[in-house]
Amino acid sequence: MKGKLIPTRGFSTVHCSQTTSRGFTLVELMVVVALTVIVITLAAPSFQRMIESQRLQSINSQLVTDLQLARSESATRNAYVRVTFRSNASGTCYSLYTYTNNATQCDCRNATPCTAAGLVEIKTVQVKSDTKVQVRPQGGQPIEFAFEPITGALYKVPTDFISPPLTQYTIRTFIDSERALNTIVGLAGRPSVCAPAGSKMQVQAC
């Protein structure tokens, strides 16, 4: 709209104008939506990997805490505490428990893991396959070990007297080769965490 000349008494004529603002057009809105969808599509895989990596770290942190618990309970109960790992199509798992017979084990795959006489369950953890995370002993190792009650040291089941003792026990928590953590239980029974070769997790290398 053209401006109007408004006379004012005692002053010079003032020129006033009116402007109208316009909103976004439909085409502009569609372009913004399309760009947003593209950005989300490109970012989604990276975001998903970040969530999975955080889940991996959380599960491994729980493992370390549970190993410390097992070692502490061994001293508190004045009994050997065994840590046994298992797996099936549903996922991986482990149980902490005391025992009186080397030949009996808890099975964390079962709804009631410790059923045999002399087994006392302390804790069982199941890591479902839909998390994409697996918790397994490193290849070539037995599926279990124990903490002895006097010093909390690493102990090989069924006995240290009929086979060479363990000097360390390595548990691998992983999704793939780039997202993997090793938890190493040393001879003294203390766990430490490191990144195996090929892993991009932000911890010290093994």
| Res 159: pLDDT | 53
Confidence of residue 28 (pLDDT cuts 50, 70, 90): low
Q: What mean pLDDT comes out for the span 38-52?
A: 72
In the block, residue with structure tokens 């010093």: 151
In the block, residue with structure tokens 């913004």: 32
Q: Is 81 helix (H, G, I), strand (E, B) or coil?
A: strand
pLDDT at 182 over 90: yes
Q: Are strands 134-137 and 120-128 parallel, antiparallel or unpaired?
A: unpaired
| Res 6: pLDDT | 47
In angstroms, the CA 132 to CA 55 distance is: 9
Q: What mean pLDDT comes out for the span 11-38?
A: 62
In the block, residue with structure tokens 């057009």: 25
**Residues 28-194, CATH architecture:** 3-Layer(bab) Sandwich (3.55)
Q: For residue range 136-177, what is the model confidence (pLDDT) as tens digits?
A: 999 889 999 999 999 999 999 875 555 677 889 999 999 999
In angstroms, the CA 182 to CA 138 distance is: 8
The DSSP-derived string for 143-155 is SEEEE-TTT--EE
